[in-house]
């Protein structure tokens, strides 16, 4: 039986806020086990949740209406692409302000604001009059429909289609078509193997625009720490390399995507109430669009039908425990299987992406996790075994001496326990 003992987590501020949001948003995750004992309990919980969301939606409404009004005024002077970019830039500032509201119960999530934005855009079209204002309001609604991920994007398309079918609808634009890929998907991976760049070309006039996702797989789950459009794959690669850092990105080049299982895991999805939080204005600027475009990439048959991922943590733990038994560790041999299993579990995170990788950032994450979730006595054993885990991984992957030294140095540096997992680390 495992000797590890979970303790009350000493979570950092970002994680505490995320957990509070999750508590507030998942009150209706499942009905009571014994519905017969309190037949109205689940109905009351549903009503409470609906009331809570309604209050937040009401708070978001004037902010969304002001944004729609500003964009409607700009629309006659901007192309659709420029209007979309303007929407995203403004969303960055707005979503940070709404998400940072205190108390947390008053914070407005991206999903709540997406609903408010759709309502505001539809209302603006219905209320608009005049030969210029109504088409401009319709274009804003169309751009919003093309940026918001499902289910909001599809809902916006339906709203626009219904408005076009009603009188007078001929002055409104058609619903935006599904984004189309204009070429092959490209992937790059840093020297450690835990930082990914994904680039996909999307049709835009006569020249496609390349969208970049910079994905960090070192934490509990892969996080898109940066994203945005670029005029070419070379420009996107240069931006990714700058964010990754000179050492970790040295010698990296684009390659054609072929690991579709991993690609599907790396692309961002709509997170709902389980969103981690802590996004920067730039990350919030692309929050909706990065997910909408990722949905298009996932529609590719080879990605949509890719097999489910498998990470053999049990096998890795068994192999590492046997290897560890031959090392000078100062640990009791009876503890080694349990220690190995715990390290494998921590290293896997939620998805197991890039399990064999060992960057300094991933080491720092593991140390923070150990500090947060384990009793000090057991955590000390895990920390004592961590340098050996790094060397074992290096043997498996053929990591260079300098890469191993950098990872080992991270063991000797106290990590920032309050670190925001959304930070774009340079290594």
Q: What are the pLDDT digits (tens) for 184-204?
A: 999 999 999 999 999 999 998
Contact between 159 and 176 (Cβ < 8 Å): no
3-state secondary structure 182-220: CCCCEEEECCCCCEEEEEEEECCCCCCEEEEEEEECCCC
Say which DSSP state 255 is in.
Answer: E
CA distance 257 to 128: 46
Lowest mean pLDDT among 31-35, 37-41, 140-144, 221-225: 31-35
Residue partners of 284: CB distance under 8 A and separation at least 6:
91, 92, 93, 94, 95, 96, 99, 110
**pLDDT > 60? residue 31:** no
pLDDT tens digits, residue range 134-176?
A: 999 999 999 999 999 999 999 999 999 999 887 776 788 888 8
For residues 26 and 381, the model is more confident at 381
Indicate the pLDDT class of residue 11, thresholds 50, 70 and 90. very low
For residues 5 and 43, the model is more confident at 43
Preceding omega of 33 cis (within 30 degrees of 0): no
Contact between 252 and 5 (Cβ < 8 Å): no
The answer to whether the predicted template modeling score (pTM) of the entire model surpasses 0.85 is yes
Indicate the pLDDT class of residue 304, thresholds 50, 70 and 90. very high
**pLDDT > 50? residue 362:** yes
**pLDDT > 60? residue 27:** no
Question: What pLDDT was estimated at residue 166?
Answer: 77
Q: What is the mean pLDDT of residues 307-327?
A: 95
**pLDDT > 70? residue 277:** yes
Question: What pLDDT was estimated at residue 167?
Answer: 73
pLDDT tens digits, residue range 384-427?
A: 999 999 999 999 999 999 999 999 999 998 888 778 889 999 99
**pLDDT > 60? residue 324:** yes
Say which DSSP state 181 is in.
Answer: B
CA distance 383 to 366: 9
């Amino acid at each position: 039986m495992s000797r590890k003992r979970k303790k009350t987590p000493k979570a950092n501020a970002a994680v505490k806020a995320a957990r509070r949001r999750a508590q507030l948003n998942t009150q209706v995750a499942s009905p009571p086990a014994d519905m017969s004992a309190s037949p109205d309990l689940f109905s009351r919980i549903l009503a409470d949740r609906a009331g809570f969301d309604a209050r937040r939606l009401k708070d978001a409404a004037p902010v969304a209406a002001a944004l729609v009004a500003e964009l409607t005024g700009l629309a006659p002077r901007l192309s659709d692409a420029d209007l979309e970019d303007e929407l995203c830039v403004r969303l960055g500032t707005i979503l940070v302000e709404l998400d940072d509201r205190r108390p947390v119960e008053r914070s407005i999530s991206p999903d709540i604001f997406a609903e408010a934005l759709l309502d505001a855009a539809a209302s603006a079209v219905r209320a608009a009059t005049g030969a210029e204002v109504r088409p401009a309001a319709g274009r804003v609604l169309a751009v919003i429909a093309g940026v918001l991920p499902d289910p909001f994007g599809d809902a916006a398309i339906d709203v626009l289609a219904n408005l076009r079918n009603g009188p007078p609808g001929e002055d409104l634009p058609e619903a935006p078509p599904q984004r189309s890929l204009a070429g092959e998907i490209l992937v790059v991976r840093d020297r450690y193997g835990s930082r990914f760049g994904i680039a996909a070309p999307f049709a835009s006039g006569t020249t496609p625009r390349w969208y970049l996702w910079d994905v960090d797989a070192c934490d509990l789950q892969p996080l898109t720490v940066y994203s945005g459009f670029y005029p070419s794959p070379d420009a996107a690669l240069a931006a990714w390399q700058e964010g990754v850092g000179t050492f970790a990105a040295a010698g990296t080049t684009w390659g054609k995507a072929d690991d579709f299982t991993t690609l599907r895991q790396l692309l961002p999805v709509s997170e709902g109430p389980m969103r981690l939080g802590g996004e920067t204005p730039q990350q919030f600027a692309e929050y909706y669009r990065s997910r909408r475009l990722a949905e298009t990439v996932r529609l590719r048959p080879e990605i949509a039908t890719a097999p489910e991922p498998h990470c053999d943590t049990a096998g890795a733990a068994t192999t590492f425990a046997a290897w560890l038994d031959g090392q000078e560790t100062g640990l009791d041999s009876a503890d080694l299987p349990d220690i190995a299993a715990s390290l494998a579990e921590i290293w896997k995170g939620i998805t197991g992406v890039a399990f064999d990788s060992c960057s300094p950032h991933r080491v720092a994450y593991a140390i923070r996790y150990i500090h947060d979730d384990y009793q000090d006595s057991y955590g000390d054993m895990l920390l004592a075994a961590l340098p050996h885990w790094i060397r074992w991984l290096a043997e498996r992957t053929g990591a260079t001496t300098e890469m191993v030294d950098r990872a080992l140095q991270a063991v000797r540096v106290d990590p920032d326990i309050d670190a925001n997992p959304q930070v774009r680390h340079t290594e």
